[in-house]
Chains A and B, each alone.
Chain A
């Protein structure tokens, strides 16, 4: 069998391990049903295998390591949606997929179906090291220095059922990128890793620690500038060991590593990590070039061949079709190969549910990936889908194929590309519904010409302070709050996750749900009315400050 492009190919040893994990989980379910395990004991165990109990049913979060799938895997996800759920899946802000209507008793069978295509739900929740996320343009972007996926896979393996780090004070999220343009929000993670080439050819890693959103949004601080590849695992062991020993366990809202880093300071944290490293047997933890090469050899590299006139063909097609041209402008990114292009497929249809895809759409995406991008699919942390290696002269055919299943929305990076958590329609933790606000905003700004006119503007919506919708990082952020059983939304502006990461500023008192969409429309009008030259929303906000926007948001008619 040929290797999949873009992700690690399992072998028999990996498959045996997955089967053992399923058998273990099945035993845990059995012990829960017979009462040997209490719900308080079972809950952390099921969460470590991605199974939540939500408002209406169980929810299963399936891992998509570093966001990459092959078409066979994607097809299987569609089949699971059809067979065990209600014919759709929800792609999350951590590059995973969730099924919302799962039965506990079906879960072992679902896990077996996933394992047949080398997939699992391991550590997609729980107080352990979660699924590692990576740059959605990895291995394709022209601006990339190091393809981060081999090391993302190494981190996935290293963190899987780690004997010491499976009962941490709180969840632990790692992101890795190999591009100078941060597309993974590295500084909003417990550990953010930026890879770059080292002098000897092996990569070196810049490591940030203690970033995160949630109740206490904090931008991660640099712990080390240049960790050598051979010391990557030792360094991570030391960082997490300090956290496991000293992170707070008395208050879940103060249990993340960011609180510990803030409490003792990044210098003291660095000293503590160095003290661990000084006592560790570094040889034992060494990541050898042989191990890296062995894992790298399980990834296939796409053979990028395009006709010499591919670029010219695309240029001509864009001239001939302004609707296609608009999609190309918003939904593509420069590929490292001049004959190829990166296409982002929006899962944000106007008025639709951000990140949702029906099983029919999922199946079609798998077919299109086979036809146009080596069978490789990437899920982005903005809840969209990327085909990484599309020949330029075939891009229009792809776009036509997408249009047939309602996936040709031209809004990536624009106001319609809304990020939203599932919110109170599903989630047991939520205070307010995120999806209806996203749908109303999507409908309000449905006109693609208007979206292009507004330009780069990201809206993020979270249904509670856990911030799964990353509202702190939105250019406009909405946070749902509960006031005596009613839904209200707090507005923030000026957040950003990319280079120059910033946390949004709260504009004022939370607004009732039915006034929120109008308030955002007034914010946008304020920007359109006062921008100068080619300013983006963030540019205008930076120049004018918050006051005019605050006035616009709270202006009463």
Chain B
């Protein structure tokens, strides 16, 4: 579900989706691939995001992803989502630290 995003200074947009086959949260990288780790997400400026999003949405079926949308992040290394929801999508459920995305292979 896309939420309206107003970028604050220091924020960028990233594209995210879920993989069709296993449902895992993925992030769109500059090389056009989808990755489990937000650290490899491509950071977009607000003015470019719509065009990139449209292109990536059109390729979603071929790329095996579902529900592509953009979300705001703090443009750090690695980027950190702004909302609690996207933080949880990026890192895993807060109630199961053993399932953190960072420890996934």
Q: Is A346 an interface residue (CB 8 A)?
A: no
Residues in chain B near residue A432, CB distance under 8 A: 84
Whether A424 contacts B23 by the Cβ 8 Å rule is: no
Q: Chain A residues near B25 (CB, 8 Å)?
A: 55-56
Stretch at the interface among B27-35, B39-47, B48-56, B90-98: B90-98
Whose C-beta in chain A lies nearest to the C-beta of B86? A485
B99 near A86: Cβ-Cβ < 8 Å: yes
Contact A486 B84 (CB under 8 A): yes
Q: Are B23 and A103 in contact (CB under 8 A)?
A: yes
- Which of A54, A425, A486 has the most C-beta atoms of chain B within 10 angstroms of its own C-beta? A425
Categorize the interface residue count of chain A. Answer: 20 to 34
A206 close to chain B: CB less than 8 A: no
* Nearest neighbor of A33 in chain B, beta-carbon distance: B20
Which residues of chain A in 301-354 are interfacial with respect to chain B, using CB atoms and an 8 Å cutoff? Answer: 353
Distance (whole angstroms) from the CB of B80 to the closest CB of chain A: 12
Q: Is the interface of B mostly helix, strand, loop or mixed?
A: loop
Does B21 touch A at the CB level, under 8 Å? Answer: yes
Name the CB-closest residue of B to A105: B21
Q: What is the distance, in angstroms, from A516's C-beta to the closest C-beta of chain B? A: 14
Contacts of B93 in A (CB 8 A): 56, 425-426
Are B94 and A433 in contact, CB atoms less than 8 angstroms apart? yes
Most buried by B among A35, A57, A486: A57
Task: Knowing A424-B85, A428-B1, A485-B82, say if A435 contacts B20 (CB, 8 Å).
Answer: no
User: Is the C-beta of A25 less than 8 angstroms from some C-beta in chain B?
Assistant: no
- When distances are taken between beta carbons in the complex, the residues of chain B under 8 Å from A101 are 99
Question: Chain A interface secondary structure, helix, strand, loop or mixed?
Answer: mixed
Known: A53-B18, A55-B25, A104-B20. A485 touches B83 (CB 8 A): yes
Interfacial residues of chain B within 49-105, with CB under 8 A of chain A in the complex: 61, 66-67, 82-85, 88-89, 92-96, 99
Whether A39 sits at the interface, judged by CB under 8 Å, is: yes
B1 CB contacts on chain A under 8 angstroms: 428
Most buried by A among B61, B84, B95: B95
- Please determine whether B22 and A57 come into contact, CB atoms closer than 8 angstroms: yes
Q: Kindly state the separation between the CA atoms of A35 and B92 in the bound complex, as whole angstroms.
A: 29
| Nearest chain B residue, comparing its CB with the CB of A57 | B23
**How many angstroms from the CA of A116 to the CA of B29 in the assembled complex?**
43
Given contact pairs A424-B85, A425-B93, A428-B1, A103 touches B21 in the complex (Cβ within 8 A): yes
* Residues of A contacting B99 in the complex (Cβ-Cβ under 8 angstroms): 56, 86, 101
Expressed in whole angstroms, the Cα–Cα distance for A58 and B21 within the complex equals 9
Residues in B1-41 with C-beta less than 8 Å from chain A: 1, 18, 20-25
* CB closest residue in chain A, given B64: A33
Closest CB-CB distance, A482 to chain B, in whole Å?
8
What residues on B are CB-neighbors of A102 within 8 Å? 23
Taking a contact as CB atoms under 8 Å apart, the answer to whether A55 and B94 are in contact is no
The complex places the Cα of A432 from the Cα of B94 at a distance, in Å, of 12
Contact for A53 among B66, B82, B94, CB less than 8 A: B66
- Measured in the bound complex, the distance between the Cα atoms of B13 and A165 in whole Å is 43
Q: How far is the CA of A297 from the CA of B21 in the complex (A)?
A: 43
Apart from A56-B92, A86-B99, A424-B85, list 9 A-B contacts with CB within 8 A.
A33-B20, A53-B18, A56-B25, A56-B89, A424-B88, A425-B94, A426-B93, A482-B83, A487-B84
- Chain A positions within 8 Å of B, measured between CB atoms, are 32-33, 35, 39, 53-58, 86, 101-105, 353, 424-426, 428, 430, 432-433, 435-436, 439, 482, 485-487
Interface residues of B (CB under 8 A from A): 1, 18, 20-25, 61, 66-67, 82-85, 88-89, 92-96, 99
Q: List 24 A-B contacts (CB under 8 A).
A: A32-B20, A39-B66, A53-B66, A55-B88, A56-B23, A56-B89, A58-B23, A101-B99, A102-B23, A103-B21, A104-B21, A105-B21, A424-B88, A425-B93, A425-B94, A425-B96, A426-B93, A432-B84, A433-B88, A433-B94, A433-B95, A439-B95, A482-B83, A487-B84
In the A-B complex, list the 4 residue pairs whose CB atoms are closest, starting with the nearest: A485-B83, A425-B93, A58-B23, A103-B22
